[in-house]
Amino acid sequence: MKKLNGIRQRAVSSLKWTTVSQAGRFSTQFLGMLILSHLLPPSDFGILAMASIVIGFASLFRDFGTTAAIIQTPNPHPSLLTSIFWLNIFLGMGLAASLCLLLPLITIGFDQPSMGRIVWILALTFPIVSLGTVHQALLEKASRFRVLAIIEFVAALISVTGAVWAALSGWGVYSLVLQAVVSAFVTATALWIVSRWKPSFHYDSSEIRKVMGFTRNLVGFNVVNYFIRNADNLLIGRFLGASDLGYYSMAYRLMLWPLQNISAVVARALLPMFSEIQADPDKIAGAYTRATAAVMFLTAPIMFGFFVLREPLVNVALGAQWRPCVSILAWLVPVGLLQSIGTLVGSLYLATGRTDVMFKWGVAAAFLIIPAFLIGMEWGVIGVAIAYAFASLLLFLPGLAIPFRLVGLRVADVLLRLVPPIATSTAMALVVGVCAVIWGAADNDQTFRLLSLIAIGMVTYGGLSYFTQRDLLRDIIRVVLNR
């Protein structure tokens, strides 16, 4: 019992500091995105999105799943850590060199002359990031998320400041590239400064082989999942152009904010705890159910609010040049809601070591989502968003049922816990929608109108939650206060 209480306390502390880190990064990056969206045209964001497809795919092989393996492995041997460090250095340098060799093909494939230079610069981040991969994994395994929170916030602040300065200086799309490079450099440097672990000049291939089964399936899933998540960007960028991709990627970014800043935060904090209690599926199932309910308490009102206020949000936050994002958001927001429910299932696969099941599910999902994108292309960028929404709905239940079986959890039990936050968010959205209609869109001060409607939504959701989700609200407050 004492050990379990200690694990729970570390999990609460991890969740708190991961939330602080993400909140700091979110505020900084969101403010930077708003500023940059007024300084740069949509086509610049579209070109960066194209380059990010290439960089993102290469990133799947940057650590070959070894970061998760360090966290999941009980008491990793020093020889394993050092071997993983040098493997990551080799992979980082090899990926950077490979991308440079493939630049002519990349430029031709996307039909964008500037793509080559952008990818070449972004490729420099691979060897930089590889320097701190093991250090970060050890900090996460030890639940030192307070240190990571400070590092990540400082890196975000410096990189965003540099990007805004570069945009004001006329760098164009390269200001967005600078942001990525500076963030990688600051993060890696800080990890070396704060980490107690330092590598030796030693490499043991037998240590790598011990975790290869786990990492091989994880990388396989990440590759498949990457194509699922980026097939829409690939198709839009290749056949509809940089401007349409700019609108789509911006709408997608807005949809991802709650996932990246709430769902992913919880998943990151839970993995070390799940790994410690991996021999007790009942405890994992209970912790997962409570965590998912807490995630939905926070993400559901944001998603419903995005849907109702998507037009004034785009007009005020991004400007009139981004108006096509409004229609795209109408279909991507439901996708975000479904994904926020399923984000934590990855922790179940990793904690139980069943990355093989994870990989097989990813392959099966790809056979539905990618054809859906191809069909949706017939109706342009909106058609792709609609296809994504319907495919996500079809995959929702089996995407939960498969990992739940690993820990003896029933889908109905989890969904029942999610009824209060979804019902309360629906009521909140109706109140905000009615207020928006009564208020009208003719008010000259659109910023004041938007902020007022957001305030009405927050007060409404908070008030209703006191009656419909009092126990969950009390649990979240306890986590915040660390009691």
pLDDT tens for 124-149 read 888 898 888 888 888 877 777 778 77
Percent of the chain at pLDDT > 70 equals 83
What mean pLDDT do residues 438-462 have? Answer: 81
- Band of pLDDT at residue 442, cut at 50, 70 and 90: low
Residue 69 lies in a domain: yes
Q: Is residue 102 situated within a structural domain? A: yes
- State whether the Cα torsion 136-139-141-143 is positive or negative: negative
Does 442 map to a domain?
yes
Cβ-based burial of 206 (10 A; exposed 0-12, middle 13-18, buried ≥19):
exposed
State which of 174, 203, 232 marks the end of a domain.
Answer: 203
- Please indicate whether residue 166 or residue 227 has the higher confidence score (pLDDT): 166
Number of domains in the chain: 2
Using one digit for the tens of pLDDT, what is the confidence trace for 163-180?
889 888 888 888 888 888
Q: How much is the pLDDT for 260?
A: 64
Task: Using the 3D structure, point to which of 186, 203, 220 is the last residue of a domain.
Answer: 203
pLDDT at 2: 44
Q: Are residues 179 and 263 in the same domain?
A: no
Q: Is the pLDDT reported for residue 104 higher than 90?
A: no
Most confident of 122-126, 221-225, 246-250, 287-291: 122-126
Mean pLDDT confidence for 362-389: 88
Alpha carbon of 99 to those of 104, 254, 452: distances in Å?
A: 10, 29, 48
Query: Does any domain span residue 64?
Result: yes
Same domain (yes/no): 194, 62 = yes
Q: Which range is most confident: 199-203, 204-208, 241-245, 273-277?
A: 199-203
Residue 278: domain span: 242-483
Q: What is the pLDDT of residue 19?
A: 60
Q: Are residues 360 and 472 in the same domain?
A: yes
If one compares 366 and 219, the residue with the highest pLDDT of the two is 366
Distance set, CA 56 to CA 51, 89, 119 (Å): 8, 18, 11
Dist. CA 447–CA 426, nearest whole Å: 24
Measured CA to CA, the distance from residue 422 to residue 325 in angstroms comes to: 25
d(C-alpha 265, C-alpha 59), whole Å:
20
What does pTM read for this prediction? 0.66
Q: Domain check: are 96 and 163 in the same one?
A: yes
The answer to whether residue 455 scores a pLDDT higher than 80 is yes
Give the 3-state secondary structure percentages of the chain, helix then strand then coil, rounded to 5. Answer: 85, 0, 15
**pLDDT-based confidence at residue 7 (cuts at 50, 70, 90):** very low
Lowest mean pLDDT among 178-187, 193-202, 421-430: 193-202
- Which of 149, 175, 203 marks a domain boundary? 203
Nearest by Cα to 261 from 361, 114, 156, 176 = 156
Domain co-membership, 257 together with 392: yes
